[in-house]
Amino acid sequence: MTTRSNNWSVQTTSAQALGLIDQGTKSLVLPTYSATTYQRDADNQYTSGNVYSRDDNPTYKPVEALLTELEEGAESLLFSSGMAAAVAVFQALKPGDHVIAPKVMYWSLRNWLLGFAREWGLLVELVDTTDLKAVEAAIQPQQTRLIWLETPGNPLWTVSDIEAIVSLAKADNILLAVDSTCATPVLSKPLTLGADIVMHSATKYLNGHSDVIAGALVTKRQDDFWQRIRSLRKHGGAVLSPQDATQLLRGMRTLFIRVRESSNNALWLAQQLQQLPQVKRVWYPGLTDFPGHEIACRQMPGGFGGMLSIQVEGGEQAAITTAAETQLWKRATSLGGVESLIEHRASVEGAGSPVPDDLLRLSTGIESAEDLLADLKSALEYAHH
Ligand code: PLP
């Protein structure tokens, strides 16, 4: 593989997948290495660097290198899912370590933290991470090892101030990790704001086509903690299939245009939906009166993302009927694909969720914004007729 030559913008780097080509064949599309095992040299060495595909796979290399470049990190690791990537960070801690995580976050990880992680001895504390005083008060000197943020936080799109929380964390040598799935490196770069690790559910915007489950971590430093995470992937075996890695790289080549289009659509829709009588409240960091909007302007200079939520007048049943009546918006979980998705979130998250029961989560795709609005409007009108 040849490497790129220089000074390209991140958009160019992404579209060109770092400008890499396969040296042997000159193929513009990089090969997928499906082998699980590699030949040892006659002198008992592995000079190729490849041994066994649970340790690592050459197909991952360009994907990880591209993500490292986009996030301005030191190294990346692909995982078999976003959850596998996130869980690896917590499993690299030790029993008795105290961790702070947001009250508003991806529900499945919250449940894992409150269940498995606590049973395994992590002292997990959920805090309103939009409130700096609450974060400061939760820090236990010498015992807090990690602060986990998710910003914007799923599904209320709460904005946490990464730089301000980095200052609190650094004073006590605490690691800061950010789930940046919904922001993507197009809109926000947590490592440049002082975070230590960035996590992505690559299933979402990085891949972008709702056909790969994948996760990734990017580190700012290749330190001992990072080596523990690498070792967890190798020994725990949460590895991505090489075919999925190739498909993910293809998705990442259109990341910039997809994310910008979704984000522009979402901003326009949020502004329009605010004016509809059937909509009680719109949750979107791009709205000027949204709490955290100013922080979002600073930390997401490229836009506010493709995710928004609405609370519907008339309560839970009106929300469910609205979702049932949309034609263009597909009723499905997940987010970050080119097609728009609508979901009654409380039905998914169940008891203990901070999500109101009249809330619909909208993952805005890259369709025409006017078509998306017309479809939502007619579903809302039906639900309130
Ligand atoms: N983080 C966020 C913000 C998510 O939305 C999701 C999935 O919905 C995950 C993490 C988990 O990712 P995966 O489904 O790839 O395991």
Is a pLDDT exceeding 90 seen at residue 353? Answer: no
φ, ψ of residue 221 in degrees (nearest 5): -140, 145
Residue range 47-54: mean pLDDT, rounded: 97
Q: How many angstroms separate the alpha carbon of residue 67 from the centre of ligand 1?
A: 17
Which residue's CA is minimally distant from atom 4 of ligand 1?
A: 106
Is a pLDDT exceeding 50 seen at residue 190? Answer: yes
Told to judge if 106 belongs to the known catalytic residues of this protein, a careful annotator would answer: yes
The residue whose CB lies within 8 Å of the most ligand 1 atoms, and thus the one to mutate among 111, 154, 158, 363, is 154
- Domain with residues 255-383, CATH architecture: Alpha-Beta Complex (3.90)
Is a pLDDT exceeding 60 seen at residue 155? Answer: yes
Which residue's CA is minimally distant from atom 2 of ligand 1?
A: 106
Domain 10-252: state its class. alpha beta
| pLDDT of amino acid 11 | 96
| Distance of alpha carbon 372 from alpha carbon 317, whole angstroms | 22
Q: Is 213 in the pocket of ligand 1 (CB under 6 A)?
A: yes
Told to judge if 54 belongs to the known catalytic residues of this protein, a careful annotator would answer: yes
- Render pLDDT for 315-337 as a digit per residue (tens, 0 to 9): 999 999 999 999 999 999 999 99
- Render pLDDT for 249-303 as a digit per residue (tens, 0 to 9): 999 999 999 999 999 999 999 999 999 999 999 999 999 999 999 999 999 999 9
Which residue's CA is minimally distant from atom 8 of ligand 1?
A: 334
The residue whose CB lies within 8 Å of the most ligand 1 atoms, and thus the one to mutate among 78, 80, 83, 151, is 83
Kindly give the number of the ligand 1 atom that is closest to the alpha carbon of 333: 8
| pLDDT of amino acid 239 | 98
| pLDDT of amino acid 350 | 85
Is a pLDDT exceeding 60 seen at residue 4? Answer: no
Of the candidates 56, 179, 196, 244, the residue annotated as catalytic is 179
CB 125 within 8 A of CB 99: yes
For strands 197-201 and 215-219, give the pairing. antiparallel
Q: Is 203 in the pocket of ligand 1 (CB under 6 A)?
A: yes
Q: Is 210 in the pocket of ligand 1 (CB under 6 A)?
A: no
Read off the pLDDT band of 7 (50, 70, 90): confident
Of the candidates 204, 230, 258, 361, the residue annotated as catalytic is 204
Ranges for all domains in the chain classified under CATH 3.40.640.10: 10-252
- Render pLDDT for 89-102 as a digit per residue (tens, 0 to 9): 999 999 999 999 99
For strands 98-102 and 144-150, give the pairing. parallel
Kindly give the number of the ligand 1 atom that is closest to the alpha carbon of 85: 16
| Distance of alpha carbon 92 from alpha carbon 148, whole angstroms | 14
Average pLDDT, the chain: 97
The DSSP secondary structure of 309-331, one letter per residue, reads EEEETTHHHHHHHHHHH-SSSEE
- Render pLDDT for 106-121 as a digit per residue (tens, 0 to 9): 999 999 999 999 999 9
Sign (positive or negative) of CA dihedral 251, 203, 225, 296: positive
Of the candidates 4, 38, 54, 382, the residue annotated as catalytic is 54
| pLDDT of amino acid 352 | 81
Residue range 151-162: mean pLDDT, rounded: 98
CB 224 within 8 A of CB 152: no
Instruction: Give the angle 46-52-55 at the CA atoms, nearest 5°.
Output: 100
Read off the pLDDT band of 2 (50, 70, 90): very low
Is a pLDDT exceeding 60 seen at residue 5? Answer: no
**Pick from 33, 83, 79: nearest CA to 53:** 33
Kindly give the number of the ligand 1 atom that is closest to the alpha carbon of 83: 16
| Distance of alpha carbon 163 from alpha carbon 161, whole angstroms | 6
Which residue's CA is minimally distant from atom 14 of ligand 1?
A: 82
**pLDDT-above-90 percentage for the chain:** 97
Of the candidates 56, 60, 61, 106, the residue annotated as catalytic is 106
Is a pLDDT exceeding 70 seen at residue 3? Answer: no
Q: Where are the alpha helices (DSSP H) in the chain?
A: 10-15, 60-71, 82-91, 107-112, 118-119, 132-138, 162-171, 184-187, 224-236, 242-252, 255-273, 293-299, 315-325, 345-349, 369-383
- Render pLDDT for 12-22 as a digit per residue (tens, 0 to 9): 999 999 999 99
Q: Is 207 in the pocket of ligand 1 (CB under 6 A)?
A: no
Query: Is residue 112 classed exposed, middle or buried when 0-12, 13-18 and 19+ CB atoms within 10 A define those classes?
Result: middle
Is a pLDDT exceeding 90 seen at residue 243? Answer: yes
Dihedral angle computed from the Cα positions of residues 119, 351, 328 and 264, in that order, rounded to the nearest 10 degrees: -70
Half-sphere exposure of 235 (CA within 13 A, CB side): 9
Structure tokens at 216: 């990734």
Ranges for all domains in the chain classified under CATH 3.90.1150.10: 255-383
